[in-house]
Each structure stands twice: as structure tokens, then as C-alpha cells.
């Protein structure tokens, strides 16, 4: 006799499991839980290809009698086509798992986990690289199923447009994602390792810079005479004196400046190497900052955007100003002030370690590096003042003309 809703609702557990039969293989299994309350499961007993099997159809009351019958009927329709409903369910679970573990989903999970360790600009570049160059082709694929040749095709597509360095970085990032996927059980191995040597090495990229003293002199005079925005002009004049990275300069905040201590302390979160950096301020640097303060000192940034004080100037502002002054991208860049200082300071005989520390280059000894933001600080203070004085001397030096 078929079950009724009342019979299902009133079914009580016994000392052993009891089974209340419905029709066409469907039955309700009732047993007592540890708390003594009834636990009720819908089951379907079926036979296919001479083998008897059991399929769970859900738990009552979440699955009602009507729901259980609908699920039984769907299972029997599959059996009529020679499909084992138990195997079909397993396949559906695999598909669902693969949908969950697509390349894009795992990548975004990896990105969310590690993004706090990066500067905002670095993180933006990484996720943008994936969104533009990788996700359109691999994003929807289960990460476990991507073959090395598929990944190579994506990387070669980047290389083919001449962006060899970007191709290398994309491959490196994909390797990081795969190692994370392996560690979290979503991939078997890091397939990026198979592509080592598959694309040519990128040419070492040097930022265009003026390093000859005879050419530095007119550059400094041009910076002093910049005809554009006063804020941009101050950034241009300060850049060669402090020679920080362009992103560190444009995001400088007033709370980081201590004129009494004559220093600028850049928080670790803003630094490429994630380590606090101290920039001793020369008299010339302080003069520029004091000149700027009445205009932007009431806000957050020394060099705010022209559109809103809540954001710093854009990353292209300094380079754009250099272009308007007539310097091409092959002659001078905002990053080039670092090369200018590095080359000149070494030629002037300053201790290489002082120069490297002031440039905030990577510290090979990570343990030592965690504590060395103030390393050589007294010597660096003297060096930064000597550098500012040297630039002043160059600016006003009269160079002999060359005759043929």
C-alpha cells in the first residue's frame, strides 16, 4: 500500500531501523538519533544490468513524499535510457566541483589571500594582467584540466604582440596560482614548470635617464622653470633630490613628513619591498616642501590630483610634464631620477651600501632586511645633503662650449 503524508509524519523509530515501503522501489528508512528523535531518509532500491543498487533521495521533512516520488520518477527515467542514476549523480558532483574550481575562481581566491602583502599598484597590475590576458581563454576551464599546451598558447599570445616581459610575468603569476591550487587540493601539479624556456628571455629594461653632468645641469634648470601646475613643478623639483620611486613620490602624505627631524618616513605598505623607508631631507628638499605646504598642507597628499584632493596625482603626471618640456621617453623618465642619483653617487665615491640602502633596493638577507630601514642613517643624511649641494653646483655651473 502506498505511503501517505500522515503515515510518513507519524512514523516512529524502533529498536532497529524500520523501512516503510511506498511504490516502485521507494521507501522511507526510519531510525533513532542519539537524542532519541526520529531520523527519516528517503531511499530508492533499483536493479540495473543485473545489479541491485540503493540511491538516497533526501531527508524528510526537507524532502516531502511528493518530492521523493518526483526524484524516484526522474531516476527511473534515467534507468529507462540505460543510465545508472547513482553514477549520474556522481558525475553531476564532479561537474559541480569543476565549476567551483575553475581557473578564474581559484586565481581570484589566491589573489584575495595574498593581495594584502602587496602594494595597491602591484596588486592592480597582477589582477589586470589576468583579466586581460588569461581569463578570457582559461578562466572558465577547470584548473585541474588545463594542459601545459593550453597555457603556452595563452602566454605566446602575449608574446606575439611584443610584450615579452609581460608574458614572463603572466607565466610567473600562473605558476603561483597553480602552486596554491596544488596546496589546496584543486590541482595535481604546477604545469607552468613545463613551459620553462618556452619563450625567449626578455631584454633587460632600463629606465631612460640623464646621467651626464653636462646634461643634468640644463635638466635641473628646466625643472625649476616648469610652466605648468605649481604642485607638479614642486614634484619635479623634489624628484631628483629624494630619488624615490615615482609611485612613492606621488603618494607622499603630509603625516609622513617630519620637518623637525628632517626626514620622510614612507610606510612599509607603500614600499615595493614592504619595508619602512627613511628619506633624509636636505635643506633644499625642506625648502620645496615648505613652499608647497600652504597650498596642499591642509589635505592628505603633498601632490594631490588636480580633480580631487582625496587622491594623489596620477602615475603619468611627472612623465607627462617631462614630455611637455621636450624630453622624450627615451631620454628621461620619472624613474630615471633614481638612475641619475645611483650612477652619480657611486661616481662621487659614496659607499655603495649607503647608496643601495637609500634606493631601497632588495635586501638579500631577509632577516637582516626586516630591521635595516634605519641602517647607515647618519651617513645617508650626510650623503643626501651632499647630493643636493652637488645638484645646486651643477645647476649653476657654466660649461665650456665644444668647438670643432
Q: Which residues form the catalytic set?
A: 245, 272, 335, 338, 361, 371
Contacts with 348 (C-beta within 8 Å, 6 or more apart), sequence order: 386, 390
> CB pairs under 8 A, 24+ apart, for 268-274?
269/119, 270/119, 271/119, 271/360, 272/119, 272/122, 272/245, 272/360, 273/360, 273/361, 273/362, 273/363, 273/369, 274/117, 274/118, 274/119
Q: What is the 3-state secondary structure (H, E, C) of 46-102?
A: EEECCEEEEEEEEEECCCCHHHHHHHHHHHHHHHHCCCCHHHHHHHHHHHHHHHHCE
- How many angstroms from the chain centroid is the CA of residue 21? 58
Measured CA distances, 60 to 35, 42, 56, 159 (Å) = 17, 7, 11, 58
Q: Which residue carries 612623465 as its cell?
A: 319
Rounded CA-CA distance 297/283 in Å is 19
φ, ψ for residue 145 (rounded to 5)?
Answer: -95, -10
Rounded CA-CA distance 291/299 in Å is 15
φ, ψ for residue 403 (rounded to 5)?
Answer: -115, 145
**34, exposed or middle or buried, with CB in 10 Å at 0-12, 13-18, 19+?**
exposed
Rounded CA-CA distance 254/298 in Å is 9
Question: For 79, left (φ over 0), alpha (ψ -120 to 50), or beta?
Answer: alpha
φ, ψ for residue 318 (rounded to 5)?
Answer: -65, -45
Amino acid at each position: 500500500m502506498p505511503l501517505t503524508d500522515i503515515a510518513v509524519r507519524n512514523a516512529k523509530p524502533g529498536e532497529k531501523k524500520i523501512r516503510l515501503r511506498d511504490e516502485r522501489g521507494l521507501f522511507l528508512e526510519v531510525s533513532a538519533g542519539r537524542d532519541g528523535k526520529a531520523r527519516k531518509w528517503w531511499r530508492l532500491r533499483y536493479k540495473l544490468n543485473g545489479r541491485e543498487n540503493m540511491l538516497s533521495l533526501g531527508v524528510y521533512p526537507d524532502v516531502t513524499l511528493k518530492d521523493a516520488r518526483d526524484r524516484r520518477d526522474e531516476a527511473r527515467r534515467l534507468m529507462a535510457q540505460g543510465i545508472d542514476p547513482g553514477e549520474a549523480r556522481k558525475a553531476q558532483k564532479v561537474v559541480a566541483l569543476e565549476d567551483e574550481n575553475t581557473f578564474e575562481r581559484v586565481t581570484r581566491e589566491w589573489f584575495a589571500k595574498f593581495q594584502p602583502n602587496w602594494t595597491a599598484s602591484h596588486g592592480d597590475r597582477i589582477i589586470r594582467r589576468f583579466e586581460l590576458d588569461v581569463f578570457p581563454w582559461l578562466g572558465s576551464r577547470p584548473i585541474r584540466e588545463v594542459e601545459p599546451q593550453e597555457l603556452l598558447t595563452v602566454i605566446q599570445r602575449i608574446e606575439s604582440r611584443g610584450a615579452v616581459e609581460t608574458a614572463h610575468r603572466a607565466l610567473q603569476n600562473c605558476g603561483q596560482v597553480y602552486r596554491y591550487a596544488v596546496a589546496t587540493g584543486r590541482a595535481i601539479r604546477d604545469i607552468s614548470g613545463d613551459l620553462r624556456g618556452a619563450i625567449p628571455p626578455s631584454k633587460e629594461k632600463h629606465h631612460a635617464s640623464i646621467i651626464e653632468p653636462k646634461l643634468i645641469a640644463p635638466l635641473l634648470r628646466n625643472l625649476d622653470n616648469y610652466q605648468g601646475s605649481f604642485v607638479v613643478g614642486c614634484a619635479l623639483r623634489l624628484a631628483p633630490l629624494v630619488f624615490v620611486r615615482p609611485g612613492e613620490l606621488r603618494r607622499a602624505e603630509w603625516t609622513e613628513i617630519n620637518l623637525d627631524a628632517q626626514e620622510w618616513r614612507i610606510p612599509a605598505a607603500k614600499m615595493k619591498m614592504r619595508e619602512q623607508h627613511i628619506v633624509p631631507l636636505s635643506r633644499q628638499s625642506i625648502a620645496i616642501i615648505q613652499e608647497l605646504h600652504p597650498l596642499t598642507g591642509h589635505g592628505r597628499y603633498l601632490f594631490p590630483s588636480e580633480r580631487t584632493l582625496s587622491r594623489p596625482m596620477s602615475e603619468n603626471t611627472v612623465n607627462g610634464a617631462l614630455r611637455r618640456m621636450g624630453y622624450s621617453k627615451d631620454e628621461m623618465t620619472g624613474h630615471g631620477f633614481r638612475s641619475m642619483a645611483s650612477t652619480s653617487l657611486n661616481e662621487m665615491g659614496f659607499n655603495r651600501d649607503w647608496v643601495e640602502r637609500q634606493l631601497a633596493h632588495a635586501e638579500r638577507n631577509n632577516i637582516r632586511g626586516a630591521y635595516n630601514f634605519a641602517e647607515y642613517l647618519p651617513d645617508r643624511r650626510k650623503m643626501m645633503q651632499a647630493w643636493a649641494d652637488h645638484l645646486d653646483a651643477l645647476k649653476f655651473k657654466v660649461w665650456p662650449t665644444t668647438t670643432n
